[in-house]
Chains A and B, each alone.
Chain A
Amino acid sequence: MKAKFSPYLSGIADGIKELIAELKKSYDYVSVLSTDSVGFTVSVSQRSKSIQGKTMMTERGNVVRVYKDGLYSEYAFNLFDPSKAKETAEKIKKILDSQLEVIKATSTKVYDTKKLSDEKQELFVEMECRTVPEETDLSALVEKFQKISDEGVSFSDEVLECMVGGRSTHICKMFLTENKDLRQSYVASDGYVYMMGARGDKQDTAHVGVSDREGPDIFDVFTETVKTAFKDLQDNLGSSHIEPGEYEVITTPIVTGLIAHEAFGHGVEMDMFVKNRALGAEYIDKRVGSDLVTMHEGATVVKDASSYAFDDEGTLAGDVIEIQNGILKTGICDALAALRLGCEPTGNGKRENFEHKAYTRMTNTMFDAGTSTKEEMIASVKKGYLLDGFFSGMEDPKHWGIQCIIARGYEIIDGKLTGKVVSPVVMTGYVPDLLGSISMTSKDYESFGTGMCGKGHKEWVKTVDGGPYLKAVARLG
């Protein structure tokens, strides 16, 4: 089925076009992004249940971007009457002029930027999906989640709680300028089984997720997911602390994705190049990894929860090869950073929602698959760990440091898993050293899109990452 475009957005389109025409009388460039995304979050545990008609991506509102005298200004609002476009334009001009008074009063200099181009372009996309959140039987979904939760706690007395959650959003966005009319509609969902347990004084958790650019039917796999979560929890509860040091490691695809995201995902967001905040700018066409490292980034790279048709600045989605056989080729770029750097935008200008500024952000960040098998890779390790699952990661684009808090490591001695588990594992290091140490990559290729990504410590957007199993050398603590 097709994810139908929002009737609400269709209904205000003429009013928004009139607003653009009014603002064009005062500004050299005007665009409006309008959004109407609906969805739900359902969560069920042994002790509580909830249904909320919202997700991290539900929203309804507009953001106007205007340009004059080298400066871009924005006004985000959600009270819009299409029959009063002229009055809205006057209100916007008045408040933005008031901001200019502050700029003048503080003798602030403007970072002079060129005007965005505005060629004629039309696009109307209703993406295919199996189900949509609006038509979901929430009663049946709560019941299904309850059964999964009940099964989770039935596995062992050590399981204190089993939380099952799912979010599904029907995303509709409309980007209009004087000459552009882009409209897209798609559905994205993600969910999880989160288990908490205790063994003696030791408490621990396990989290297994699922995501896709599909509807709530993706939660059907939870009957298997809950078994994986229980195994992971058992492994964590039986774990010990790792002896800090440098080890050979095999990363599962989910950890590979975390490395892709934190190592060279943030490191080549080119709005950071404008601010001289990323070391990557100095390494274009230079070696940053081994020959086995090829990394793609873009909304069209895979089909998952961050695979859209155009970004929040009206740039069509793309597929950028960031690293090719270990050589850094290019980064990803939003529209304004592209103007400042003199390059083309890559379709990575994203906002947390209409209220937030657009930054260069990741979509799908994926390492390419290789030729080895997981078994061959484990057999090649003398002493090290198979790293699986994660709690968090943090980037450091200026210095290429990386911090990944991995959920657990399975000890490998002389090519065999010993059964010993360590948890949690803090993996740190210098990105080119880590990527340069990659000596094997598997044939597997998986994407993961259950998390949200921040820029610094704010601006949360949906991102996806992944790839194959990797063999590398890393510092663990």
Chain B
Amino acid sequence: MTEKIIELLKSSGVDGWEVVDKVTEAWEFYFIKHELDQNRVRDVEHISIEVFRKLEDGKFLGSASEEIAPTATEAEAKKLIEDLYERAAFVKNPYYELGKKSEVLKNQDFDPKKMAQDFIEALAEVPETSTEYINSYEIFAEKIKKRFVNSEGVDMTVTYPSSTVEVVVNAKNEEHEIELYNMYNSGTCDKEALKKEIALSLKYGKDRLHTVPTPAIKKAPLVLSTKDTVMVGQWAAMKMHVAMVFRKMSNWEIGKPICDDVKGDTFTMKSVKELPNSSKNIGMDSEGNVVRDMDIIKDNVPQNYWGDRQFGYYMGIKDIFMPNNFELEGGKSSEEELRQGTFLEVVEFSDFSVDNFTGDIAGEIRLGYWHDGDKVAVVSGGSVSGSLPELIKDIRFSKEQKQYDSYVLPAVIRIADVTIAGVE
């Protein structure tokens, strides 16, 4: 169907077009404890078309998009192209250019059956006890073949793996039972890494059985040492998104330090074309732009914006792209040094959120370790809050890094002076 659509688009007389054809073969297994609840297969193809139309002698560029069913007839495809061309006239955006650069991308074969079986075996090998155990898990193993074609000669196809495992672990004693929820994303199954992460979650579960209410701390350094560090990295990355900058939702400028009077570590962030076993080793972004290694921020000084072609063009950046993988460099201190003195280390939030626009952070504490001098209390309840633009001067990063799928970040991030709403 895709070839027919391309043929129709070429002969349609539209000013520009893009086609994305994504074929997914996914194997899914759902477990309650270690018993199979349900098995599923997804065997789908999604074809989306975007049509562009020059308006007012090319001063403006309109566009409209829609997915077309792979079972559509030639007449339906032709009608859709005509409809999209008409709709594109209603969307008068200042002119911008489509991508022109094409590369030969990886097309290694992956077997979702093998990937799924590896995950099932890995979950069966997690050391459990009668008091710390796996409650349930869901396995999603996908082989994705994605082709991007446009009117400017770009024609790239990539095949890549993408996996997700959702695991709920429980811990119990004679008084009560608790659960912890985790979702792990990767390319294929890295058995040892997955088992290590789940074992850590089981340890946290055991600790959560013996928590005391978070005291009324008011203000304290917050230490993040789990996947929540990604939220800090994403916030910094989004501040450099060209659409955020163009819309004045970010005031970070190339060459101008992101803050003065730094007491902590500086941000150094880059786009990384590939990371080991990342589910985002795709080689191109969603607009068909080739991705590459690139400095984004160096020692707190913005180097390059990233983002979509439309806003990139408006900002005068023609060779722009949306990175699939990011790296935030480590700082001057070790993990151990960042865990000195008084601080609250939270390893489980209900949902740790960072608002990309305001930089507000918030999260209910499900499991934390309150270090007050030589004493350590395992705490639960209450919340943390603050504003990263206000806190950025004193954020410290560990030298050691850790990878969470498409992000490599400092293993430990310490943020000074965070508001802690305790329970007591």
Residues of A within 8 A of B (CB): 45, 47-54, 58, 60-61, 71-81, 95-96, 98-100, 102-103, 105-106, 108-111, 138-139, 142-143, 160-161, 196, 198, 201, 203-205, 241, 244-245, 274-277, 336, 355, 357, 391-392, 394-396, 398-399, 401-403, 405, 424, 426, 428, 456-458, 475-477
Contacts and interface: CB of A to CB of B under 8 A. Distances in A.
A402 B382 CA distance: 10
A106 B36 CA distance: 11
B166 A54 contact: no
B389 to A, nearest CB: 7
A167 to B, nearest CB: 14
A333 B30 CA distance: 18
B37 interface: yes
16 contacts: A47-B247, A53-B64, A53-B67, A53-B84, A76-B43, A77-B43, A99-B39, A109-B34, A160-B247, A275-B135, A396-B364, A398-B177, A403-B350, A424-B355, A424-B360, A428-B350
A99 B43 CA distance: 14
Interface string B102-141: 0000000000010011001100100000000001100000
A98 B44 CA distance: 18
A399 B178 contact: yes
Contacts of B113: 98-99, 102
B71 interface: yes
B247 A161 contact: yes
The 10 closest A-B pairs by CB, nearest first: A477-B421, A53-B66, A244-B421, A403-B364, A394-B351, A111-B35, A403-B350, A394-B350, A74-B40, A426-B383
B166 A52 contact: no
Interface string B21-42: 0000001111110111111111
Interface string B337-364: 0000000000000110101011110111
Contact of A142 (B28, B35, B39, B91): B91
B75 to A, nearest CB: 14
Q: Name A's interface SS.
A: mixed
B421 A426 contact: yes
B309 interface: no
A456 B385 contact: no
Contacts of B38: 71-74, 336, 357
B63 interface: yes
Contact of A277 (B42, B117, B179, B420): B179
B419 interface: yes
Given A76-B44, A95-B41, A110 B28 contact: no
A54 B66 contact: yes
B238 to A, nearest CB: 13
Contacts of B216: 244
B361 to A, nearest CB: 10
Contact of B136 (A98, A142, A275): A275
